[in-house]
Chain A
Amino acid sequence: MLQYVSKRALSMVLVLYIVITATFLLMHSIPGGPFTTEKQLTPEVLRNINARYHLDDPLWKQYIDYMGNILKFDLGPSFKYQDRTVNNIIADGFPVSIQLGTFAVLLAVPFGISAGILASLRHNRPLDYIVMSSSTLGISIPSFILASFLIYFFAFKIKLFPAAMWNGFSYMILPGISLAALPMAVVARLTRSGMLEVLSQDFIRTAKAKGVGKGLIIYRHALKNSLIPVVTYVGPMTAGILTGSFVVESIFNIPGLGRYFVTSIYNRDYTVILGITIFYSALIVIFNFLVDIAYVFLDPRISLDKKGDS
């Protein structure tokens, strides 16, 4: 186990290193540097700014400095807001995003799994068709469109929930649903197909032959097996909720990290874009690592050493 974990951790660090380097080089390959778009700057001022942000250093030196700072968990200053650092922005925005994201997961996973199980038990019957068509709808509506419609109906028309801002639980509901719709649909589909697959397996027939009742067959013999594909989706789901939060937080004007990221894109605030990207990457890579370990516990067939090799 320890060997597997350390092996995985090592490859995680390698991935992060490569991602950071690539993002850094990408951001620094923008022709002319980050401040050239601002026409009103005199060459004099430009030079000052470049000196202040060490942009006049050779690239390799900037790179080494940047990497050194990352080791100290310092993602550098913002170009646009001189008094703020990327760390400040993350500290402000991330807790909000975490709340919203957790809420979305709590909506998506239980409801998705239940819907999937119900559909599989009513295979090829009306309930199955209803679940399947609504989940196809769920994966076909982009979150920003869903968010707009939710705002229009629930905030403007029937005034049930607030349309924007972040002042308590009722502010979470509409953005939460907007974010949760897609993962809920995917979880429902995965659970359904997983259940159908498992229910047709030989060992289910064995359980039936033992006289196990329908409820126990589903709960004890089928569920754990069919949730394995759902667990593999946890990584992509996190990624999806994360990217979804960019637009959803912007639409609902929620002061989360996603909105700051989009703002930094509008502003072409390169250090912030670079810093938040690295932060997100680290988050996801670490999360995937944890999911992988959880997976090992769920499926006894996976031998740790073999998995570490592949």
Chain B
Amino acid sequence: MNTELFKRVDFQLDASYDIGRPSTTYWQDVWRRLNKNKLSILGLIIISFVAIAAIAGPFFTAYSYSDQNLQIANQSPSAVHWFGTDNLGRDLLTRVLYGARISLSIGIVASMSTMIIGVLYGGIAGLSGGRVDTIMMRIIDIVWSIPFLLYVILLMVVLQPGLMNIFIALTLVYWMPMARLVRGQILSLRELEYVLAAKLVGASSWRIIIKHLIPNSFGPILITATLTIPEAIFSEAFLSYIGLGVSAPMASWGVLASEGATSLRSYPFQLFFPAAAICITMLSFNFIGDGLRDALDPRMRK
């Protein structure tokens, strides 16, 4: 044996040695996990496709969504009318594409507006604490005990049907889960050390919320906002079904589906296409929501 080998090496603690694992940032991690979830990616692709179809599609069809032509009423799907025509002779594909605009925008607007209101309400409650918090949360508790859809129905009865009123009614009701979530996040984050530290150096409450709390709560907020979209689309379809939806000749998917359902026996395709649009979109959003939830779950992080 070589005595060289038994020379003592200079002893120093090698700091780089400690970091064995390649370090990735939180969002890289989330993205990697989301990427591995094939269903979420499928959902994202489908939603993008539906969104593009909703934006661009109507420019490419030769028909208008409202022109009636009773001579071609109730035609089955064909090369001319891909999705067939409805009982007033309107091209169903065109109507489904316009419907996509309405349904998607209802989902997105409702998601955005409930997020803004919910974050503000929950933020104020959580940061104020004490009596303000108690009262603000009691209000939610009381409203929470009755099904949200019942409120939306009542509001729509009072406000009268119409696209704008649907936005208003949905926003007035669906902000509450977000507010609860944000308030809960703030309460738990408030206990954390770095927020305490920020307080000690004298940062004001609002600066703290912007600097620390929002980025930290971003994940759960994103999940809730994502899942609000299918919820709103569903609620709108539901309202349309009981006659409280957007007014004719405008048509959301829900209106189209409820129109189609009346002639289910003779022209099932009139229900099939809008129903498929609703289901596929809801399914995609749920896939994305599930994928996000799994990807953001800190317990899975190793």
In the complex they form, whether A and B have CB atoms below 8 Å apart is answered with yes
Known: A136-B283, A152-B268, A268-B157. A284 touches B242 (CB 8 A): no
Bound-complex Cα distance A148 to B268 (A): 9
Q: Collect the chain B residues with CB atoms within 8 Å of residue A277's CB.
A: 150, 154
How many chain A residues have a CB neighbour from B under 8 Å? 43
Segment touching B, from A59-67, A78-86, A96-104, A242-250: A242-250
Q: Collect the chain B residues with CB atoms within 8 Å of residue A243's CB.
A: 147, 149-150, 238
B242 near A26 (CB under 8 angstroms)? no
Known: A144-B238, A265-B243, A268-B157. A137 touches B283 (CB 8 A): yes
- Does B271 have its Cβ within 8 Å of any Cβ on chain A? yes
- Does B99 have its Cβ within 8 Å of any Cβ on chain A? no
A144 near B147 (CB under 8 angstroms)? no
**Contact-residue size bin, chain B (C-beta under 8 Å from the other chain):** 35 or more
B147 near A142 (CB under 8 angstroms)? no
Segment touching B, from A15-23, A107-115, A202-210, A218-226: A15-23
B275 near A148 (CB under 8 angstroms)? yes
Q: Which of A14, A15, A141, A239 contacts B147 (CB 8 A)?
A: A239
Interface string of B266-291 (1 = CB under 8 A from A): 00100100010011001100110010
Q: Collect the chain B residues with CB atoms within 8 Å of residue A137's CB.
A: 279, 283
A156 shortest CB reach to chain B, Å: 6
A30 near B158 (CB under 8 angstroms)? yes
Interface string of B126-141 (1 = CB under 8 A from A): 0000000000000001
A280 near B142 (CB under 8 angstroms)? no
- Does A139 have its Cβ within 8 Å of any Cβ on chain B? yes
Interface string of A151-177 (1 = CB under 8 A from B): 110001000000000000000000000
- Does A228 have its Cβ within 8 Å of any Cβ on chain B? no
Bound-complex Cα distance A205 to B232 (A): 43
Bound-complex Cα distance A262 to B271 (A): 21
Known: A140-B282, A142-B278. A273 touches B142 (CB 8 A): no
Q: Which of A29, A142, A144, A156 contacts B265 (CB 8 A)?
A: A156
A142 near B238 (CB under 8 angstroms)? yes
Bound-complex Cα distance A214 to B228 (A): 39
- Does B237 have its Cβ within 8 Å of any Cβ on chain A? yes
B242 near A15 (CB under 8 angstroms)? no
Segment touching A, from B116-124, B207-215, B256-264: B256-264
Bound-complex Cα distance A152 to B282 (A): 22
| Most B C-beta atoms less than 10 A away, residue of A19, A137, A144, A288 | A144
Bound-complex Cα distance A273 to B39 (A): 42
Bound-complex Cα distance A242 to B149 (A): 10
- Does B146 have its Cβ within 8 Å of any Cβ on chain A? yes
B244 shortest CB reach to chain A, Å: 7
- Does A293 have its Cβ within 8 Å of any Cβ on chain B? no
Known: A250-B242, A265-B243. A148 touches B264 (CB 8 A): yes
Bound-complex Cα distance A54 to B260 (A): 42
Q: Collect the chain B residues with CB atoms within 8 Å of residue A18's CB.
A: 142
Known: A136-B290, A265-B243. A144 touches B146 (CB 8 A): no
Question: Taking CB as reference atom, which chain B residue is nearest A264?
Answer: B157
Known: A148-B275, A246-B242, A250-B242. A265 touches B286 (CB 8 A): no
A198 shortest CB reach to chain B, Å: 14
Q: Collect the chain B residues with CB atoms within 8 Å of residue A280's CB.
A: 146-147, 150
- Does B198 have its Cβ within 8 Å of any Cβ on chain A? no
A273 near B157 (CB under 8 angstroms)? yes
Q: Collect the chain B residues with CB atoms within 8 Å of residue A285's CB.
A: 145-146
| 13 A-B pairs (CB sep. < 8 Å) | A19-B146, A137-B279, A140-B282, A141-B282, A142-B234, A148-B261, A149-B275, A151-B264, A243-B150, A247-B238, A247-B241, A280-B150, A281-B145
Residues on A close to B: CB < 8 A? 14-15, 18-19, 23, 26-27, 29-30, 133, 136-137, 139-142, 144-145, 148-149, 151-152, 156, 239-240, 242-243, 246-247, 250-251, 262, 265-266, 268, 270, 273, 277, 280-281, 284-285, 288
